[in-house]
Amino acid sequence: MKVQELKHASLKKWVEDAVSLMTPDSVEVCDGSKAEYDRMIQFTLDAGLATKLNEKILPNSYLFRSDPSDVARVENRTYIASKSKDDAGPTNNWIDPAELKKNMTSLYKGSMKGRTMFVIPFSMGPVGSDIAKIGVEITDSPYVVANMHIMARVGTKVLDVLGPDGFFVPCYHSVGKPLGAGEKDNGVWPCAPVDKKYISHFPETREIWSYGSGYGGNALLGKKCLALRIASVLARDEGWLAEHMLILKLTNPQGEVKYITGAFPSACGKTNLAMLIPTIPGWKVQTVGDDIAWMKFKEDGRLYAINPEAGFFGVAPGTNNDSNKNAMDTIKSNTIYTNVALTEDKNVWWEGIGYDAPGKLIDWNGNPWVQDKSNKDQKPAAHPNSRFTGPAKQCPAIADEWEDPKGVPISAFLFGGRRPKTIPLVNQAKSWIHGVFMGSIVGSEVTAAALDVQAGTIRRDPFAMLPFCGYHMGDYFKHWIKLGQTHDESKLPKIFFVNWFRKNDAGKFIWPGYGENSRVLAWIFDRCDNKGKFVDTPIGILPTPDAIERPAGVSEADMKEILNVDIEGWKKEIADVRQNHYPKFGDKLPKELYSELDAIEKRLNA
């Protein structure tokens, strides 16, 4: 389709204005067809930006490498440019929107010279769903087009639903490196220097402007940018939830079903939990989504969730047949791999894949690499944040309802993170407001998914939304509290906190995790119906040590340890929240959360 054929007048003008600004050599409006996807891939192969993988091992799959400066989200170059700095809040980077647009407009000027501009109409959520939203991304990256084909529903069918005057979120993206005459890219996707990268969000005008990065979360603008940062603002204004959450379908041996969402910081096991294979007989887990949930209230008073994405953008290192067989089976074909290692027979390899490196590899930087286990300082073959982009429909555990436009009714929210001490294996909130309190104090070890934060340290990440909330987190907490006040609490999901990562004094994990987490899910399932053995404690409702069937290798003493209320540890936790965490949000921190903090402290002291 040509730009002049667009029937949506404001969309057509927006594209024409972008063409005038960025001066591409040509313009294509994406139709979403397989032929288009194949053409994008062929373009990258011809340009030396991709490697075709072994057709017999990984059919229709390709490997891409990035510039070493462009391997993860760049949080210190990500901006919430609200009109008021106070609306962005202290945990977001803010620049005056007029100043930012002026600066970025000068960067966009001529940025697509020598390239093609691609116009990608995309639906976040099943096309036509009343929970879904439409975006349109302009990009000069065929890598982005190919990934968006997998991660969203794209093309003509989206324009048909948009109609002549429908709402869409306009998204600018440019890699920021115009090509001179006869110039070519150098075998990695192009990008701008770090100090010229901008991932900018304009909440009031519902716009996204991204410049200088080709990495997933910075360039696939339907993902974190629209699905969380802009959608969280839409959700606040329209009375729903846009959350950094997996969605799973849990079926017990009697055939009863519950749908559960879970919020965990990046690379803390969301995908593994969403695709979990239960170890307890008769139970079944199926995947609705692995990263983002959009939830709206329906006529029956319950929250219904859709997965706005159509694919998985998963962290490769650590993914193997033991940790996540369903993910491994999902990415056996039609998959884009980014920054993993390449074997001599054109297969992929990464640290934690489950077997030693097979001979000579080419590492993620394009250099020869041979595994040397005796060298503890050897740099990894695959980048710690290397990724796979695979179609969700290929997942063996995908739920039949995963594309149901009306969504699925949610019974429970899980919050969690990597905490070696203090936080028990599972803890149920006493009430909605107690659950919001628990979500507001989530803390976790930092992972490699964030480029500019030291890995291994612990930081607070409320609701696992700190890098993704498009407005002041204090107002975000208020939004959650308001939903509890304006809806029947008996119909709201129950709230739980889980921690698979408790360690003993020797630094070893106490709980085996992975498929054994189904034992915890079984208790949560029962608690949604007010069943199951429990004890009421100062910090919440915990299972009794015999309420969860112990997996092999976990002793009775271990269960008591990971289900124990560490009074002194919790007093330190509360003190840290009071002194260091909550003050960040100033006078926008809801008084209800301070009241909850006081109540828990009082119970602990008693």
pLDDT tens digits along 389-448: 999 999 999 999 999 999 999 999 999 988 999 999 999 999 999 999 999 999 887 655
State the span(s) of the chain assigned CATH 3.40.449.10: 3-50+69-238
Average pLDDT over residues 20-44: 97
3-class SS of residue 234 = helix
The reported pLDDT for the residue numbered 446 is: 65
Cite the residue boundaries of each domain of the chain with CATH code 3.90.228.20.
242-309+398-605
φ and ψ of 100, to 5 deg = -65, -45
- Per-residue pLDDT reduced to its tens digit, 153-180: 999 999 999 999 999 999 999 999 888 8
Q: Are 174 and 111 in contact (CB under 8 A)?
A: yes
Q: Would you say 73 is a known binding-site residue? A: yes
Q: What confidence score (pLDDT) does residue 455 get?
A: 53
Catalytic residues: 268
Angle ∠(10,16,19) on CA atoms, nearest 5: 145
Ligand-binding annotation for 435, yes or no, is no
CATH class, range 312-394: mainly beta
Tokens of 273: 């939990």
| Mean pLDDT over the full length of the chain | 95
| 522 pLDDT above the threshold of 90 | yes
Class of domain 3-50+69-238 (CATH, top level): alpha beta
Q: 515-548 as b/e, with b when 16 or more CB fall inside 10 Å?
A: bbbbbbbbbbbbbbeeebebeebebbbbbebebb
**Who contacts 236 (Cβ-Cβ below 8 Å, separation ≥6)?**
471, 475, 476, 479
Percent of residues, the chain, with pLDDT higher than 70: 97
Handedness of CA 164, 170, 171, 177 (dihedral sign): positive
267 in a known ligand binding site: yes
Tell me the per-residue pLDDT of 230-243, one tens digit each, with 9 for 90 and over: 999 999 999 999 99
Distance between CA atoms of 231 and 291, rounded to whole angstroms?
14
- For residue 386, say whether it is annotated as part of any ligand binding site: yes
Mean pLDDT, range 211-222, rounded to an integer: 96
The DSSP code for 281 is T
Whether 477 shows a pLDDT value over 90: the answer reads yes
pLDDT classification of 267: cutoffs 50, 70, 90:
low
User: Is residue 98 within 8 Å of residue 113, measured between CB atoms?
Assistant: no
Mapping DSSP to helix (H, G, I), strand (E, B) and coil, where does residue 424 land?
A: coil
**Which has the minimum average pLDDT: 68-72, 123-127, 142-146, 253-257?**
68-72
Q: Is residue 540 marked as binding?
A: no
pLDDT at 58: 98
pLDDT band (50, 70, 90) for residue 457 = low
513 appears as a binding residue in the annotation: no
Tell me the three state secondary structure of residue 123.
Answer: strand
Find the largest Cα–Cα distance for the chain.
76
The answer, yes or no, to whether residue 372 has pLDDT greater than 90, is yes
Q: What angle do CA 476, 264, 220 make, to 5 degrees?
A: 80
216 is in an annotated binding site: yes
Question: Residue 266 to residues 362, 419, 506: CA-CA distances in angstroms?
Answer: 27, 14, 26
Q: Is 407 assigned to a binding site?
A: no
Percent above pLDDT 90 for the chain: 91
CATH architecture of 242-309+398-605: Alpha-Beta Complex (3.90)
Is the pLDDT assigned to residue 378 strictly greater than 60? Answer: yes
**pLDDT for res 479:** 98
User: Could you give the CA distance from residue 389 to residue 155 in angstroms, rounded to a whole number?
Assistant: 19
| pLDDT value of position 186 | 79
Around Cβ 586, how many Cβ atoms within 10 Å? 12
For the CA atoms of 122, 138, 63, 65, the dihedral, rounded to the nearest 10 degrees, stands at -140
> Contact at 8 Å (CB) between 217 and 228?
no
Tell me where in the chain the CATH 2.170.8.10 domain(s) lie: 312-394
| DSSP H helices in 432-555 | 432-440, 473-486, 518-528
More confident residue, 245 or 185: 245
Q: Using 50, 70 and 90 to split pLDDT, how confident is the model at 183?
A: confident
Output the pLDDT for position 270.
Answer: 87
pLDDT score recorded for residue 549: 94
Does 268 show up as a binding residue in the annotation? yes
Task: Answer yes or no: is 482 a known binding residue.
Answer: no
Given a cut of 60, whether residue 95 has pLDDT beyond it is: yes
The mean pLDDT of 442-465, rounded to a whole number, is 70
The predicted structure's pLDDT at residue 180: 85
Confidence at residue 404, expressed as pLDDT on a 0 to 100 scale: 97
Report whether pLDDT(254) > 90.
Answer: yes
> Residue 456's pLDDT band (boundaries 50, 70, 90)?
low
Long-range CB contact pairs, 37-44, < 8 A, 24+: 37/145, 37/146, 37/149, 40/142, 40/143, 40/145, 40/146, 40/149, 41/142, 41/146, 43/142, 44/142, 44/143, 44/146
* Region 82-90 average pLDDT: 97
In angstroms, the CA 117 to CA 158 distance is 19
Whether 341 and 363 have beta carbons less than 8 Å apart is answered as yes
For the stretch 483-512, pLDDT in tens is 999 999 999 999 999 999 999 999 899 999
pTM score of the predicted model: 0.95
48 is in an annotated binding site: no
Please check whether residue 518 is in contact with residue 276, taking contact to mean a CB–CB distance below 8 angstroms: yes
